[in-house]
Amino acid sequence: MEWTREHIHGTVEQQREYFRSGKTLPVSRRIEMLKKLRSAVEEHRTELEDALRQDLGRHSTEAFFCDIGSTIMEINEIIRGLKKWAKPERHFSGLHCFPSLVTRVYKMPYGVTLIISPFNFPILLSLGVLAASISGGNTAVLKVSSKSKACSGMLQRLIADTFPEEYVTVVDGGHDIADLCLEERFDKIFYTGSPRVAVHVLEMAAKHLTPAALELGGETGNWCVIRKDADLKDAARKVAFFKMLNSGQICININQVAVAEEAVDEFIRELKAAFAGQIGEDAVANPEYPKLISEKAYETCAKEAEQYRERIVYGGYGDPETRRYAPTVIYPVQPDEPIVRHELFNPLLPVVPFRDEEADELMELIAKREHGLALYLFTRNKKWARKVMSSQQYGGGCINEVCLHMMVRGVPFNGTGHSGMGAYHGKWGFREFTHPSTVLTGSTRLNLPLREHPYARHEGIKRHMLQAFEK
């Protein structure tokens, strides 16, 4: 379908009319729609896996683990908790409001929402966010990525077969189509992508004072810090797994790993062994190994690797035909070099050595840069690790683990600063797509004149009672 300014405007107005009809408000209706979405994902699982294989070279197991299964888990969590989350809160108004003592906080939908999703997890980061929007009682225009064409086409068909377009619509196309969407007056925008594009999204949203949630990768990338006392074999195994996952195209992936000088040689040996053990001696020839999303992404990766050719200690090659580039370890790299000053989004892994006794200085350096979406620490010193995790600024992270924090039920997934704003997953997604409205129920009897003029005539008693009530 050819999307035009007029078509997009008509779609938004159609959804606004549908929202105003009140059909999206009943919680029972929202749960019904969420179950329909879950059934659609389960029914089209094979087609979704095939689309992920076409776009990203994903093995079916990785496709289910990262996108499809995670989407179903997200929808299930929302279905289980929605009745409780959506229930109005009841509060005591306070004696200063007497006799109007009951106040309720209603969790109200925003209205017509715009969801802009990325290519790297095209199912989860589209339908998972959509589930949050539906849970809040909204309608949704879902702008999918033009890079993951197979997945975007599959999402269009899945949504069109599941929901009426006045409720949920999928829009495809490039940046020009995204801009046409952003020109419209939405009630809430949720964008997942790069900090650079996020600035543009916020600028466009500001024209209508539209609230926006941003899930970004972090401008200077996510750090993994490995102390000398860490279990190096365990750390290497987990780092290798994560860096190969989706060929490094993950917003919470490790951008660079800082390793204590005392342990760096052993860690690199273990890392090489972990890569070879998990993907084989030639990752590029292994059909399980994912590919980069486009020729441009492959060329960017290969070009940057070439700049560090003399320091590549593992990998450093690829196949432009299949767009697979081997996991590549670059060592040593200093913390101020260009490769660790921007988000990589590929399988290159710079290793930054540091003196273990200067770990706190390293954390200060990291803190001075733009806040990452994730932070990973490997150490047996849990006291130090917890101190760092409770004092640094980042989205989320793990101690002696990678990535699994975003799969825990009941907790938020979010960023801060250049890694984003807002939060979602489960009840946090419901909160992100609703706004609280406070409503006091007034009484027509026994109203006291404390707040009313005249003040001077009864100043003493009025002031005394107000001071007592407003403590």
Q: Domain-by-domain residue ranges, the chain?
A: 5-216, 222-411
pLDDT reported for residue 95: 78
Q: Which structure tokens are listed for 162?
A: 């599941």
Asked if residue 461 has pLDDT above 90, the reply is no
Q: What digits encode the pLDDT tens for the residues 35-82?
A: 999 999 999 999 999 999 999 999 999 999 999 999 999 999 999 999
CB 263 within 8 A of CB 300: no
In percent, the amount of the chain with pLDDT more than 90 equals 90
Mean pLDDT, the chain, whole residue set: 95
pLDDT reported for residue 96: 78
Q: What digits encode the pLDDT tens for the residues 325-352?
A: 999 999 999 999 999 999 999 999 999 9
- CA dihedral of 169, 170, 172, 177, whole degrees rounded to 10: 40
Asked if residue 447 has pLDDT above 70, the reply is yes
pLDDT reported for residue 446: 80
pTM of the model: 0.95
Asked if residue 422 has pLDDT above 80, the reply is yes
- CA dihedral of 49, 253, 316, 362, whole degrees rounded to 10: -170
Instruction: Please state the length of the chain.
Output: 471
143 bridge partner residues:
116, 171
Instruction: pLDDT band for 129, please (50, 70, 90 cuts).
Output: very high
Cα separation of 168 and 186, whole Å? 14
Greater confidence (411 vs 455) lies with 411
Mean pLDDT for the stretch of residues 360-371 = 96
Query: What fold does the segment set 5-216 form as a domain?
Result: Aldehyde Dehydrogenase; Chain A, domain 1 (3.40.605)
Query: What fold does the segment set 222-411 form as a domain?
Result: Aldehyde Dehydrogenase; Chain A, domain 2 (3.40.309)
Asked if residue 458 has pLDDT above 70, the reply is no
pLDDT reported for residue 221: 85
Catalytic machinery residues: 215, 251
pLDDT reported for residue 449: 73
